[in-house]
């Protein structure tokens, strides 16, 4: 299954891959330190940084995989670290070495020679420094989802991946959701004709996550309230774009024949965080006097090179059930999925009398092969199984020495949406251009996501 150099070249610079590498970087990837003991006996050695809520999920996924070892884990929270070390030991593996000696102890983890790749699930501001340090130490990286703080941060990831030849795959689970992957197959196989427009959102009432305990956050907060909430205080933009946009980027062949070229973004007024504090902490609570920057609803319109439009909504402060409000529309029909409300298809010539069909009707034909196999093998892991699939995809690509199906250019483009929306809103909803992180290679690159039933 390991690709030889010629296959690898075909799959990258000349062919279907999206990773552009210099010869130096290429040889570095080919000599990546995966232990090759024979076809079925290969092990990938993973270090994990950050084992709070999400890092623990990622760790648990890794522990279901017999070909994954965990030599080291880092978290500044000793209780979280100890829980994680125990989980590994309880799985029958050797107890990993723990790193908890302050904010920069992760540098000691990434320097280890017995690690092939690093998974990162820390607060957003740590993602890029940790990814960069890991890649510079010769490790592939898989950061959890986030939005960048600056465009320069996105370029730093791209530059480092190109210079080191290491892979950087954002772990966006929604790309691996069953429903979203079936829609990918529908789009690719032309059920909706030529694509015109997409919609997606991150609508997640996070008020009880942003304030915990009570209406506290920051130093007095717990879990994500310790670090996530402060972004809403000072920033006004789409702070978390990738849950909706990741799958859409795959539908529209972003960075692979198409690209997002510009966006405009508009923020509603900010009310809900203040109201929540007053309701649960009273008018006299010190947090009731905070002037929150983040608008309650951020609406962004993205234009693509091929002339499609994408609307993207960010809504994390108002009371409502969770939904990514997905829609993919072409000249011959559309799919629309609002979690808990509808998951429907209208396909001209197949649906009758302008009536919606249930998504299930199309599943015998459009179940994605990755999910067919996953269901046959037994669905497992967090986020309905997508949490497992994204980690498995990363591991499989590392083992095979092929580009990860979400690469550094995808990661950089998707996280760039956050600073771009902030800039557009600050300029009164002015159009803002996306940088071309691929340096023009998007013209030749071919899609790589969702082509296999194994990754
Ligand atoms: N994919 C999803 O659906 C999903 C869901 C939740 C969170 N996330 C993402 O996962 C990431 C982590 O979120 P979370 O909910 O697990 O947050 P969390 O607060 O529960 O965990 C973060 C952990 O990082 C540790 N940490 C902080 N600074 C560190 C440092 N310098 N070195 C080592 N460890 C450090 C903290 O002690 C904590 O245990 C974020 O990017 C978040 O957006 C993704």
- What DSSP line would sit under 21-34, residue for residue? --HHHHHHHHT---
Report the pLDDT averaged over residues 117-137.
Answer: 98
Answer whether 381 contacts ligand 1 (Cβ < 6 A): no
Element (H, E) at 451: none
Answer whether 103 contacts ligand 1 (Cβ < 6 A): yes
Answer whether 75 contacts ligand 1 (Cβ < 6 A): yes
Kindly report the protein residue whose alpha carbon is nearest to atom 33 of ligand 1: 75
Domain boundaries, the chain: 32-168, 175-369+404-443
The pLDDT value recorded for residue 283 is 97
Answer whether 122 contacts ligand 1 (Cβ < 6 A): yes
Size (the chain), residues? 455
Report the pLDDT averaged over residues 342-349.
Answer: 98
Which of 20-29, 70-79, 357-366 comes out lowest in average pLDDT?
20-29
The pLDDT value recorded for residue 30 is 32
CA distance 446 to 438: 13
CB 348 within 8 A of CB 333: yes
Answer whether 72 contacts ligand 1 (Cβ < 6 A): no
pLDDT of residue 14 exceeding 90: no
Listed residue (253, 247, 202) closest to 418, CA to CA: 202
CA distance 455 to 388: 11
CB 85 within 8 A of CB 98: yes
Cα 19 to Cα 172, 405, 451: the distances in Å are: 18, 10, 16
Which fold, 175-369+404-443? Answer: Dihydrodipicolinate Reductase; domain 2 (3.30.360)
Calculate the average pLDDT of the chain: 92
* Residue 284 CB neighbour total at 10 angstroms: 8
Q: Which atom of ligand 1 is nearest to the CA of 127?
A: 41
402 alpha carbon to ligand 1 midpoint, in Å? 28
pLDDT tens per residue, range 147-192: 999 999 999 999 999 999 999 999 999 999 999 999 999 999 999 9
428 alpha carbon to ligand 1 midpoint, in Å? 33
Answer whether 161 contacts ligand 1 (Cβ < 6 A): no
Share of the chain above pLDDT 90, in %: 91
Answer whether 286 contacts ligand 1 (Cβ < 6 A): no
Helix (H, G, I), strand (E, B), or coil: what is residue 146? coil
Which token pair is 344?
């429907």
Measured at the CA of 425, the angle between CA 129 and CA 408, to 5 degrees, comes to 30
Listed residue (455, 448, 438, 443) closest to 16, CA to CA: 448
pLDDT of residue 26 exceeding 90: no
223 alpha carbon to ligand 1 midpoint, in Å? 8
CA distance 420 to 400: 35
Answer whether 292 contacts ligand 1 (Cβ < 6 A): no
Answer whether 429 contacts ligand 1 (Cβ < 6 A): no
Helix (H, G, I), strand (E, B), or coil: what is residue 445? coil
Kindly report the protein residue whose alpha carbon is nearest to atom 18 of ligand 1: 52
- Cβ neighbours of residue 130 closer than 8 Å, sequence gap 6 or more: 49, 106, 110, 118, 120, 122, 141, 143
pTM: 0.92
37 alpha carbon to ligand 1 midpoint, in Å? 34
Answer whether 176 contacts ligand 1 (Cβ < 6 A): no
CA distance 305 to 262: 9
Task: Scan for tokens 């429903």, then name that residue.
Answer: 179
Answer whether 82 contacts ligand 1 (Cβ < 6 A): no
The pLDDT value recorded for residue 42 is 85
pLDDT of residue 71 exceeding 50: yes
CA distance 23 to 21: 6
Pick the CATH number of 32-168 from 1.10.3720.10, 3.40.30.10, 3.20.20.70, 3.40.50.720: 3.40.50.720
Q: Which atom of ligand 1 is nearest to the CA of 105?
A: 32
Which phi-psi region, left, alpha or beta, contains residue 398 (left: φ > 0; alpha: ψ -120 to 50)?
alpha
The pLDDT value recorded for residue 41 is 65
């Amino acid at each position: 299954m390991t690709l030889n150099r010629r296959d690898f070249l075909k799959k990258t610079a000349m062919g279907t891959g999206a990773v552009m590498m210099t010869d130096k970087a290429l040889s570095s990837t080919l000599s990546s330190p995966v232990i090759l003991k024979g076809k079925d006996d290969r092990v990938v050695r993973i270090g994990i940084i950050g084992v709070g809520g999400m890092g623990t999920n990622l760790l648990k996924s890794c522990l279901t995989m017999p070909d994954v070892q965990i030599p080291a884990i880092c978290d500044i929270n000793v209780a979280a670290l100890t829980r994680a070390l125990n989980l590994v030991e309880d799985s029958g593996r050797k107890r990993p070495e723990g790193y908890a000696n302050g904010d920069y102890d992760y540098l000691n983890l990434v320097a280890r020679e017995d690690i092939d790749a690093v998974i990162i699930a820390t607060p957003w501001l740590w993602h890029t420094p940790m990814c960069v340090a890991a890649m510079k130490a010769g490790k592939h990286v898989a950061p959890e989802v986030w939005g960048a703080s600056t465009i320069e941060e996105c370029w730093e990831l791209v530059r480092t991946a190109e210079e080191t030849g290491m892979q950087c795959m954002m772990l966006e689970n929604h790309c691996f959701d069953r429903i979203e992957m079936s829609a990918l197959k529908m789009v690719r196989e032309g059920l909706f004709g030529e694509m015109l427009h997409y919609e997606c959102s991150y609508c997640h009432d996070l008020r009880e996550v942003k304030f915990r305990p009570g209406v506290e956050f920051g130093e007095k907060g717990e879990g994500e309230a310790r670090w996530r909430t402060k972004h809403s205080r000072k920033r006004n933009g789409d702070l978390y774009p990738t849950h909706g946009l990741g799958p859409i980027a795959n539908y529209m062949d972003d960075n692979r024949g198409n690209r997002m070229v510009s966006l405009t973004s508009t923020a509603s007024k900010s009310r809900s965080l203040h109201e929540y504090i007053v309701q649960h902490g009273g008018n006299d609570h010190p947090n009731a006097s905070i002037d929150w920057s983040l608008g309650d609803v951020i609406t962004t319109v993205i234009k693509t090179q091929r002339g499609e439009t994408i609307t993207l909504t960010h809504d994390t402060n108002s009371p409502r059930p969770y939904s990514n409000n997905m829609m993919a529309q072409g000249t011959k029909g559309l799919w629309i999925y609002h979690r808990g409300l509808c998951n429907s298809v209208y396909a001209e010539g197949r649906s009758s009398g302008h009536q919606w069909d249930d998504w299930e009707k199309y599943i015998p034909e459009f179940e994605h092969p990755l999910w067919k196999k996953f269901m046959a093998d037994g669905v497992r892991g967090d986020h309905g199984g997508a949490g497992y699939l994204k980690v498995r995809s990363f591991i499989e690509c590392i083992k095979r020495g092929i580009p990860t199906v979400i690469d550094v250019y995808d990661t950089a483009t998707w996280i760039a949406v956050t600073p771009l929306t902030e800039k557009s809103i600050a300029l009164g909803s002015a159009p803002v251009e996306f940088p071309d992180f691929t340096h023009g290679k998007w013209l030749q690159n071919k899609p790589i996501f969702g082509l296999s039933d194994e990754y």
